[in-house]
């Protein structure tokens, strides 16, 4: 069983060679760091500004 992806694949967190088990990351640690960044909303997808949430008084 091969553990590594092709040599051109690099971990987006630390640039080490990616490992198939954690692809596209090199390790569980880097995968967890990336997940933490998403959960803390450090990554943002481009789009329109958020609209204010409706309140119970509206509608």
Tens digits of residue pLDDT in 6-50: 557 999 999 999 999 999 999 999 999 999 999 998 987 788 777
Q: Which are the contacts of 19, defined by CB distance < 8 A and separation ≥ 6?
A: 3, 4, 5, 25, 26, 27
* Predicted TM-score (pTM) of this structure: 0.62
- Whole-number pLDDT of residue 10: 96
- Whole-number pLDDT of residue 58: 54
């Amino acid at each position: 069983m091969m553990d590594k992806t092709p040599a051109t694949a690099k971990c987006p967190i630390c640039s080490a060679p990616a490992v198939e088990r954690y692809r596209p990351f090199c390790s569980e640690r880097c995968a967890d760091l990336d997940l933490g960044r998403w959960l803390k909303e450090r990554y943002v997808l481009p789009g329109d500004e958020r609209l204010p949430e409706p309140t119970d008084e509206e509608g």
